[in-house]
Amino acid sequence: FGDPASNLGLEDIIRKALMGNLEERQD
């Protein structure tokens, strides 16, 4: 329980939202 942001799934949401943009860039 050391990382509230990870517990919340926040990191996953952030990574996916950032990655979406990377994919657009590659296109």
Residues that bind another protein (CB under 8 A): 1, 4-11, 13-15, 17-18, 21-22
- Report, in Å, the least distance between residue 16 CB and another protein: 8
Nearer to another protein, 1 or 27 (CB): 1
- Report, in Å, the least distance between residue 1 CB and another protein: 5
Residue 20 is inside which H or E element, if any? helix 10-26
Q: Residue 16 and residue 18: Cα distance in Å, rounded?
A: 5
Place of tokens 């990191």: 11
